[in-house]
Chains A and B, each alone.
Chain A
């Protein structure tokens, strides 16, 4: 094996067919850019869900007619419940006050009330840990079973929809990723095939002077891998530039609180590059198989 010789051959060939290979690299980079953008959105949505789960705030509304000792007993029962980090009592008067503050200019609407319609409640912080949303759901069910508790609310309907959309997005991303991968594979295979047809006389001459299959194929495989690698690296570079420009311009703090957008982790970036190189090699393999068949 003479890697430097084959590499030189491959680079010469890439240069000789620079327009063709340039087009292939552009298309591959576009495909990996799309796949990368999906991965980026998917990773950030997943991370956003995790952040939410880390700190789920649940409002536990109590039934009417309870007394102060009842509140104490209920608080103890809530605090003993699995995954509950803290429980603080919010009296109906405090709740009304909070509502008034939150209504700001419309607070006058509350003036006409003859009695406080809000129930006493506990503000509960739940840490579901690895249990995820299922854990939160179980905790809420247990709390609702405590005597004197009317309802435990943590925005289930919204969160369940959000989870469902996230799962669908995950499946769509996987399906799309597979399709894009096949497209990248086909583009590399077709480019190498065009080069092969362009050079079929040369390949025939090489065979006649005693070149082995390995000798003939080596430089083409390297070309395919370089093509894949360049496509991957260009996609990653464009994705990084666009991502950091967008994130710098977004009011993240106002929109999502303490959540911060993250770029694709280094490990995944490297995995993407390895995948792009593998796509290049596999494309080359396919084109040789087709070339020999014809």
Chain B
């Protein structure tokens, strides 16, 4: 068991968690979690179902608030972040959701373009960027298709394209290969490695043993809301 406390003056960490706890009523989802994630690190969060992986990611992409402790994201204390700043910080975080969260009434193209549209990018740039991403995830031929007509692997590729569309500093992926076959899972992991290679910090929550078996990345293991192990 190796639950290290983060160093208080670690300037290279892009994500810092100090004694973070999250409770849902009487139920503790995370308990006293301390963690530093270095800039441009590729980190796996693992643990059994209900260990608190998704909860931790939710706290990081500001879909939920902590019960105790502090989270620093790019040096900003999330508990003190003014509400108005929230959308702008979220633009620096690309998220691949476990259930994809693609908008069913928008086409594949529009789902990816949304990230750039909300940031106020101009039409020509959006077109160029989205077309490039569609080629990258090999979904160019399905640009006009709606999410419900896609397979799980295809939806996940669109979700990854959307997550990396705004060139975020941080990419969070919640079980990105959870329901995919080995081939589709490899495509997704290659895409995440690609964005990592371009300088992003990537956090992947997974319980997929195959992904973790031969990796040289840091693996943080959670169990019942606590970090029980971490290492390479």
- On A, residues with C-beta under 8 Å from B are 2, 5, 16, 199, 201-202, 205-213, 215
With CB as the reference atom, state the residue of chain A lying closest to B58. Answer: A208
CA distance A206 to B118 in the complex (A): 8
CA distance A215 to B115 in the complex (A): 12
Are B105 and A209 in contact, with the CB atoms below 8 A? no
CA distance A215 to B88 in the complex (A): 12
Interface string of B162-185 (1 = CB under 8 A from A): 100010000000000000000000
Are A211 and B87 in contact, with the CB atoms below 8 A? yes
Are A208 and B95 in contact, with the CB atoms below 8 A? yes
Set A5, A16, A202, A209: member contacting B115, Cβ < 8 A:
A209
Are B114 and A209 in contact, with the CB atoms below 8 A? yes
Q: Which residues, 1 to 48 on B, are CB-close (under 8 Å) to A? A: none
Q: Could you show 17 A-B contacts with beta carbons less than 8 Å apart?
A: A2-B120, A5-B117, A202-B105, A205-B101, A205-B102, A205-B114, A206-B114, A209-B91, A209-B95, A209-B114, A209-B118, A210-B166, A211-B87, A211-B114, A212-B87, A215-B87, A215-B117
With CB as the reference atom, state the residue of chain A lying closest to B101. Answer: A205
Set A5, A16, A199, A210: member contacting B90, Cβ < 8 A:
A210
Set B63, B87, B101, B103: member contacting A210, Cβ < 8 A:
B87
Are B61 and A208 in contact, with the CB atoms below 8 A? yes
Closest 4 CB pairs of A and B: A210-B91, A211-B118, A210-B90, A212-B87
Set B61, B89, B102, B118: member contacting A215, Cβ < 8 A:
B118
CA distance A216 to B139 in the complex (A): 27
CA distance A210 to B102 in the complex (A): 15
Are A210 and B88 in contact, with the CB atoms below 8 A? yes
Q: Which residues of A contact B87 (CB under 8 A)?
A: 207, 210-213, 215
- Closest CB in chain A relative to B207 CB, distance in Å: 23
CA distance A210 to B115 in the complex (A): 7
With CB as the reference atom, state the residue of chain B lying closest to A214. Answer: B87
With CB as the reference atom, state the residue of chain A lying closest to B162. Answer: A209
Q: Which residues, 65 to 98 on B, are CB-close (under 8 Å) to A? A: 87-91, 95
CA distance A260 to B115 in the complex (A): 61
Are A16 and B105 in contact, with the CB atoms below 8 A? yes
CA distance A209 to B61 in the complex (A): 9
- Closest CB in chain B relative to A213 CB, distance in Å: 8
With CB as the reference atom, state the residue of chain A lying closest to B114. Answer: A209
Set A2, A5, A208: member contacting B101, Cβ < 8 A:
A208
Interface centre among B63, B87, B115, B120 (most CB of A within 10 A): B87
- Closest CB in chain B relative to A193 CB, distance in Å: 18
CA distance A202 to B95 in the complex (A): 15
CA distance A202 to B101 in the complex (A): 9
CA distance A29 to B166 in the complex (A): 44
CA distance A74 to B90 in the complex (A): 92
Are A208 and B105 in contact, with the CB atoms below 8 A? no
Are A208 and B63 in contact, with the CB atoms below 8 A? yes
